[in-house]
Every structure is written in structure tokens, then in C-alpha cells.
Chains A and B, each alone.
Chain A
């Protein structure tokens, strides 16, 4: 069965610190997609990244970077030099190849203090 675990319920950091949000997933599928979404206090779900199971190349986008390791079934998200505007709940998610099933982790609340 598919499952996504975000063991960190809440993290607090001071502005400019680096922070890593952990995501561990379980699936028997060989083709799947992994996602990260940001949910700021305003409530909308903001897409950050999608990674398919065939592409283990790490990705960097500005202050954001993602480390996908199939060997450990992890898809961790690092924010470098965090800012107050990064404060939000971050969700990791896993989908089947056809998106019919989409599994969210329980979310990690990130508090960035000035």
C-alpha cells in the first residue's frame, strides 16, 4: 500500500537558517510521482515540485532544493537561508502513474522567526 510519512510535525527556525523537511514514502509501483506543496496561512495549496520515479536527479530552484533517493524511499526538501515568508505547512505527496490515487503526508508546519 502507498504511504507518505512526514515525521516532523512542526519545525521552528530563525530567519537565515537552513532547514530540511523530511519525507519518506512507501509504494510497490515502479512508476510513480512525488510532489511537494506549500500551504501558507492563507490556505491555498501551492505546487512546488513534481518528480517522477525514473528521475533521481536532485533539483535546485533558488533557495529550494530537493533530494530524491530511491534507495531510502526519501524525497527531502531543503530551504536555504529561510525567510519569514517561508512559514507554512509543507506537504509531501505520492501519486500513482495515472494520478488516480494521490497520497498526502500529514504535513510539516514550518515556523520561521525573524
Chain B
């Protein structure tokens, strides 16, 4: 079974359209994330949700709106797509620990969604 699954894997759309990328994790993790990887391969966090609550929003345009109906799902909706939004978007999940605990917490990425805006 896939631990973190994203759909679709590829998405080609025209400028100005609205699109969504879905993410689901079956690991029982508390926290989910969206990352963007640009054409130079640089990976940067966009959002982080913990138990359906937003905890990180890294200066992402408000055209991007994450939605977490439950802690196993974090979807990314993008309005009015622009050429610069073309990138690979990765979903990830993790289990949060407490300071000093030495546990093998996981941090797992989905396989990515390649978004191309034309």
C-alpha cells in the first residue's frame, strides 16, 4: 500500500484555470505538508497542517489554498493558475515528537505531481 499518495501525477492546464491536487496518507501521521520543487530542483515548504490545523504558511500567494478535511488528507487548490506555478508539488507527512525523545519518527513524501501551466 502506498503510504503517501498524490493525484494526479501529471497535470497540464491553461493559465487562469483552477485546479486541485489531492493527497492522502495511511500512516496515521499527525502532520501533513505541501512542498514545491522548482525547475532548478529547489525544494521549499509551502504549508504544514497538524491535525487539520494550519501551522505553517510560507508566504505563499493566496491563490493557493490548502484544505484538510481530516488528518489523513491535505488537498491543494490553486486558483487562477499562472505560468510560474509550473513545478513539481510534493505532499509529505510526519509524526510529531516532543523534545528529547529519541524515536524513529517518519517523514514520508508522496511521489509528486508535475504541474505544467501553458
List A residues at the B interface (Cβ < 8 Å): 31, 33, 35, 37, 39, 43-45, 47, 50, 52, 54-55, 89, 91, 95, 97-102, 104, 106-107, 109
Contacts and interface: CB of A to CB of B under 8 A. Distances in A.
A55 B41 contact: no
A99 B43 contact: no
Interface of B: 31, 33, 40-45, 48, 50, 55-56, 88, 90, 92, 94-100, 102, 104-105, 107-109, 111-112, 114
Given A89-B41, A100-B48, A45 B109 contact: yes
Contacts of A106: 40-42
Nearest to B88: A43
Contact of B97 (A37, A97, A109): A97
A101 B40 CA distance: 21
A47 B56 contact: no
A54 B96 CA distance: 17
B107 A35 contact: yes
B94 A104 contact: no
A43 B112 contact: yes
Contacts of A104: 42-44
Contact of A99 (B31, B40, B88): B31
B99 A44 contact: no
A99 B41 contact: no
Contacts of B96: 98-100
A98 B45 CA distance: 15
Contacts of A31: 99-100
19 contacts: A39-B41, A44-B109, A44-B111, A44-B112, A45-B109, A54-B102, A97-B98, A98-B99, A99-B96, A99-B97, A100-B50, A101-B56, A102-B107, A104-B42, A104-B43, A106-B40, A107-B41, A107-B42, A109-B41
